[in-house]
A and B are shown apart, each in its own frame.
Chain A
Amino acid sequence: MSTPRVDAVSVDVAVVGGGPAGIAAAALVAETGRRVAVLDASLEPGGQIWRHRRGSPAPAAARRWLRRLERSGATLFRESSVVDVRDTEGGRFAVTAERGVSPLAVNATTLVLATGARERFLPFPGWTLPGVVGVGGAQALLKAGLEVSGRRIVVAGSGPLLLPVAASLAAAGARVLRVCEQASGRAVRAFAVGLWRHPSSLVQAARYRLAFAKTPYAMGEWVTAARGDGRVEEVTVTDGRTERTMACELLAVAYGLVPNTRLARVVGCATAHGAVVVDEHQRTTHPRAYSVGETTGVGGVDLALAEGQVAASHILGRQVDPSLLRRRNALRAMASVMERAFAPRDELRDAVTPDTIVCRCEDVPSGALRAGWTMRQAKLYTRAGMGPCQGRVCGAALEFLHGWPADRVRFPVEPALLSSILAEAADHAAPPRTQGVSR
């Protein structure tokens, strides 16, 4: 893998996102000698699933693909957040990123969007307190070296991530008091039955470890409030009949994952049900843009790898291996079973009080929002979704609470340093823009 020194590069294929899907697509294409750039926001490639502590080895499953990417000839740009993508008149994509604090311009014929997913956060009183983190968030912080030994932690929310994250917190010495899954026991068991052909050893291992630590896994239970003075000190959960309050130092809570579709929408790719629409070969509605992995619907690492490989084959003009397509389709079907099983229950809306903050960037309370509005009106009247995160956190919450789908995406997609915006204007010969410069 070459070491990038320049701040502007021209390639055949630009891959946005260095998780499993992006790595698979990039490696397979680069192995044929085509020029490929991978832009990834993190310190190391691998995405959230393959994230590991700096200086320690990557998970075994990840090593093979990371090594393959390294040997493929693809150029990897670490710590590079893409702030904008444009389809220029010359039939090329102009990708603008911030590499640390420096601007980076990548010009490419073909675009692969592998931007992954983020956690779905749903508001409740006290969710803005320090010490309330996501479930994947807790995992990410743990992998970055967070010390949790002896800490009392409640893990809550929804989805198959709860158990393995609780188990890794327990393995790191935390006292995991309770794992609260909002989905009913019946729904979770239906999901487990759907898994019978692909028994998840991860989930089984997690259950053994938690059973050993005597941590209850309560299904049909959800958080109604967190309280504390300047940080979380206690959390209340309910099963709809009985409330239970636990003293804790950390609450890890999130309701599954939602695809990151913003860049795709900037390019003009169609989305449906919150995911980027792709055809049999992972092509979006834009003829030179592909999308792979969680961006096209949350489905896990195996599906992401399969989709990356399918896209690579098609980009290379090869016949896609029919067994690969069958495998991808089976994994996709499983993903939709999972989505149904862990869909957030209606009662989660009842936890929100009028003074519960919904938009954390702008501190907009739920009571300031009106049921009949659109997302656009909410933005105009209250600034909800207008802060630095650009609705990445409150967007999914507002969709759940009010049924408001996402609003049109504006430049910049990420809050950009002024230097990247000016550099973009110069590099891509686009008119300079004055709007949308973040604070």
Chain B
Amino acid sequence: MNARAQTPALGERVTIIVDGEEHRVPADTTVAVALLGLGVRAFRRSVSGEPRAPLCGMGICYECRVDIDGVADRRACLVPVVEGLLVRTAAGQGA
């Protein structure tokens, strides 16, 4: 089993960096839920500039895509949070 699949202890928290700011978030969650918990509304901006956030919660709709560790357009609902994860959202890009 790889390191990232290790089961976090109950109540454990990790630090993730969202749009340049450090946040402590529960370790047993996904990037999508962590961002919703931090009050992020605009995960991405649509073609016409609308703010978009998770719809399906299970990797189908691609509305929750953000930049994770330098890789663009990753589905936040499918990625677990890990210590030191770097996230960039549309909200953080002045959009």
Contacts and interface: CB of A to CB of B under 8 A. Distances in A.
B46 A145 contact: no
A372 interface: no
A128 B46 contact: yes
Contacts of B74: 101
A274 interface: no
Nearest to B31: A144
Contact of A230 (B26, B51, B71, B77): B51
A361 B60 CA distance: 12
Interface stretch (A132-140, A318-326, A333-341): A132-140
Nearest to B8: A55
A136 B62 contact: no
A137 B58 contact: yes
A235 to B, nearest CB: 15
Interface stretch (A26-34, A187-195, A299-307, A386-394): A386-394
B73 A43 contact: no
Contacts of A138: 57
Interface in B67-86: 71, 73-74, 77-78, 80
Nearest to A101: B71
A357 B71 CA distance: 28
B90 to A, nearest CB: 11
Contacts of B9: 55
B54 A54 contact: no
B37 interface: yes
Contacts of A389: 60-62
Give the size range of A's interface with the partner: 35 or more
Interface string B44-59: 0011101111111111
Contacts of A231: 41, 51, 53
B73 A130 contact: no
A133 B57 contact: yes
A54 B8 contact: yes
Interface in B1-32: 1-2, 5, 7-10, 26-30, 32
Contacts of B36: 141, 146
Give the size range of B's interface with the partner: 35 or more
A146 B36 CA distance: 7
B28 A42 contact: no
A273 interface: no
A362 B8 CA distance: 38
A435 interface: no
Contact of A388 (B10, B28, B73): B73
Interface in A75-126: 78-79, 81, 101, 118-119, 121
Contact of A392 (B7, B29, B61, B80): B61
Nearest to A47: B58
Given A55-B7, A78-B5, A130-B41, A363 B46 contact: yes
Contacts of B61: 121, 360, 389, 392-393
A202 to B, nearest CB: 19
A388 B62 contact: yes
Contacts of A54: 7-8, 28-29, 80
12 contacts: A43-B5, A54-B80, A55-B28, A119-B56, A137-B55, A137-B57, A144-B33, A145-B37, A147-B37, A230-B51, A231-B51, A360-B52
Given A141-B32, A415-B73, 19 more contacts: A43-B78, A54-B28, A55-B9, A55-B28, A56-B10, A130-B41, A133-B56, A136-B56, A137-B54, A140-B58, A140-B77, A145-B28, A146-B36, A146-B37, A231-B41, A231-B51, A363-B50, A388-B65, A389-B61
Interface of B: 1-2, 5, 7-10, 26-30, 32-33, 36-37, 41-43, 46-48, 50-63, 65, 71, 73-74, 77-78, 80
